Amino acid sequence: MKKNNEHIRNVLIAASAAIPIAGGPIAVILDKYLPSEFEERKNNFITSLSEDLENIKDQILIERLQSKEYLTFFIKILKHSMEEHRKEKTIAFRNILINEAISKSNDFDETTMYIRLVNDLTVDQIRILHYIYHKKLVGHCNANVNINIYNELKKVWIEIDYHYLLACVTELIRFFIITSSSEVVNNSEKSHSLTDFGERFVKHIFSPVEMNIEI
């Protein structure tokens, strides 16, 4: 078991070595101020991911971790994780890699879209999606049950500015993670539900490692 865990870690560390380091004057800044922080973030991410994969070792094949496809995902995510300190994003990135380790490769590049979305979405948008996912309010319990997400979130996230919430949700709609309809729900003019793509996305980033997020 120990040998298998070391093999997983060695694969991940080898992939991380492929990330280029900037040269020239910027290297002075990196050498003097940032290496310890970058190194700590990289080591923490690799260590956590190694433990995650060890927990599901019976479901994965080492050959999958060594594939060019998986190593490409890993390198992209590791670079993004070194730019992040918020657990919401680092856990989402870990979950993408865990799920990819146990999923069959396909002809679509949807996982790259997941990586882009986690990188581009704000932490508050991830918190909104987690609230929807965790509470099973939108499109989980019954496909025919929709809600007005603005009204629902204002009940539990009282301090949030309505127009900021509107901007967050509007962008989630623009990415086709959730959809809006004119169906009347509880006297409201708008109702919302997760798209099929949104369902896959939230399941991919919020499990199996749980996020402890409160709104």
Residue ranges per domain, the chain? 2-107, 123-205
φ, ψ dihedrals at 63, nearest 5°: -60, -35
pLDDT tens digits, one per residue of 114-125? 999 999 999 999
Pair of tokens at residue 86: 């918020």
* d(C-alpha 76, C-alpha 79), whole Å: 5
- The CATH number of the domain covering residues in 123-205: 1.10.10.10
Residue whose pair of structure tokens reads 């996912």 in the numeric block: 133
How many C-beta atoms lie closer than 10 Å to residue 117's C-beta?
20
Residues 96 and 115 sit within 8 Å (Cβ to Cβ): yes
pLDDT at 200: 93
pLDDT at 129: 93
Q: Which residues of the chain have pLDDT under 50?
A: 138-145, 185
pLDDT tens digits, one per residue of 47-97? 999 999 999 888 987 888 888 889 999 999 999 998 898 999 999 999 999
pTM of the model: 0.78
Query: For the stretch 19-56, what's the b/e string if a residue is b when 16 or more beta carbons lie within 10 angstroms of its beta carbon?
Result: eeeeeeeeeeeeeeeeeeeeeebbeebbeebbebbeee
pLDDT at 142: 45
